[in-house]
C-alpha cells in the first residue's frame, strides 16, 4: 500500500487501541502538551484488510495515563483505549478505529478540532469546514498553477454544496506557521488571522482567489463584485 503525502502538525485528540506501536522517547519539557498527562511519541498502525499485516496510518503522541471513563469529544474511551494526538497523517483516508461525531477518517480528524470547538459553542451551523490537509501546500517541485487549481477545486466543491449564507473556516499551513481564514463567499470577503501579523504569501491568496472567482462564475449575480481582504 503506498504512503500518502504527510501533513503539518495539528493537535487533535482521538482514540486508538493501546496496542499501537510506541517509541521510547518520553515527552520532554519543550514538547507541546495539549493534555495534562505525560505522552509518548507513537506510530499508529491499523490492519491492512487487503494485503494483510499492519499499515502505518499516522504518527502522533499517546497519552497512556487514562481510565475508561475519560472522554474524547464527549465519548468515553472505554477499555484498552488511549487518547491520541494526531501529528503527522500518513494515510489520510484510513478509517478511525473509534469514529468521532465529526470525524470518521484520519484526514477528517486533523480538521475536526476546529469543527468541534465551533460545535461546543453552538456556531457549527454557521460554517463549513475546509480540511487543512487538502489546501496546505505540502508538495514541492510541482506545476504551481496546476497545484493551486487542484486545491481550489476542492474549495469550490464545498462552496457549491454549502447553503446560502454559510461561511467557510479554513486552516492553512504555509510550511512555517498556521493561518486561519474566514471566507464569506456571498460578501466576497476574506478575514484572516496571521500570528506573524503580515500579509500571507501568494499561494494563500491565489488559492482563495481562484476558488472564489470560479464560484462567482457559477452563481452569477447577487455576489459582491470587489473582494475585501
Q: List the pLDDT tens digit at each of the 229 positions of the chain.
A: 333 433 333 333 444 443 343 333 443 333 444 444 566 777 878 777 677 778 888 777 776 666 666 666 556 666 666 667 777 777 777 777 666 655 667 766 665 555 555 555 555 567 788 887 788 886 666 788 888 999 999 999 989 888 888 888 888 887 777 888 999 988 888 999 887 878 888 899 999 999 999 988 888 755 555 666 7
Spell out the domain ranges in the chain: 13-95, 123-219
What is residue 226's predicted lDDT score, i.e. its pLDDT? 62
What is residue 42's predicted lDDT score, i.e. its pLDDT? 77
Tell me which residue of 87, 41, 34, 35 sits closest to 65, measured CA to CA.
Answer: 35
CATH 1.10.10 fits 123-219, yes or no: no
Q: How far apart are CA 25 and CA 167, in angstroms?
A: 42
β-partners of residue 60 are 42, 86
Tell me which residue of 60, 50, 58 sits closest to 1, measured CA to CA.
Answer: 50
Alpha helices in 48-189 (DSSP H): 106-120, 132-135, 144-161
Amino acid at each position: 500500500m503506498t504512503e500518502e503525502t504527510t501533513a503539518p502538525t495539528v493537535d487533535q485528540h482521538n482514540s486508538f487501541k493501546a496496542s499501537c506501536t510506541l517509541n521510547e522517547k518520553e515527552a520532554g519539557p519543550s514538547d507541546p502538551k495539549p493534555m495534562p498527562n505525560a505522552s509518548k511519541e507513537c506510530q499508529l498502525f491499523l490492519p491492512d484488510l487487503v494485503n494483510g499485516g499492519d499499515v502505518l496510518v499516522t504518527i502522533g503522541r499517546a497519552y497512556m495515563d487514562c481510565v475508561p471513563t475519560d472522554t474524547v469529544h464527549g465519548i468515553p474511551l472505554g477499555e484498552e483505549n488511549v487518547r491520541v494526538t494526531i501529528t503527522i497523517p500518513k494515510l489520510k483516508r484510513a478509517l478511525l478505529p473509534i469514529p468521532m461525531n465529526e470525524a470518521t477518517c484520519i484526514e477528517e480528524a486533523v480538521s475536526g478540532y476546529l469543527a468541534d470547538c465551533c460545535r461546543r459553542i453552538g456556531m457549527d451551523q454557521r460554517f463549513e469546514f475546509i480540511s487543512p490537509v487538502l489546501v496546505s501546500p505540502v508538495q514541492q517541485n510541482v506545476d504551481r498553477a496546476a497545484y493551486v487549481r487542484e486545491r481550489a477545486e476542492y474549495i469550490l466543491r464545498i462552496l457549491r454544496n454549502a447553503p446560502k449564507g454559510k461561511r467557510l473556516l479554513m486552516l492553512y499551513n504555509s510550511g512555517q506557521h498556521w493561518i486561519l481564514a474566514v471566507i464569506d463567499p456571498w460578501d466576497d470577503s476574506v478575514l484572516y488571522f496571521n500570528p506573524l501579523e503580515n500579509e500571507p504569501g501568494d499561494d494563500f491568496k491565489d488559492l482563495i482567489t481562484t476558488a472564489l472567482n470560479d464560484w462567482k462564475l457559477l452563481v452569477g449575480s447577487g455576489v459582491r463584485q470587489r473582494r475585501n481582504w
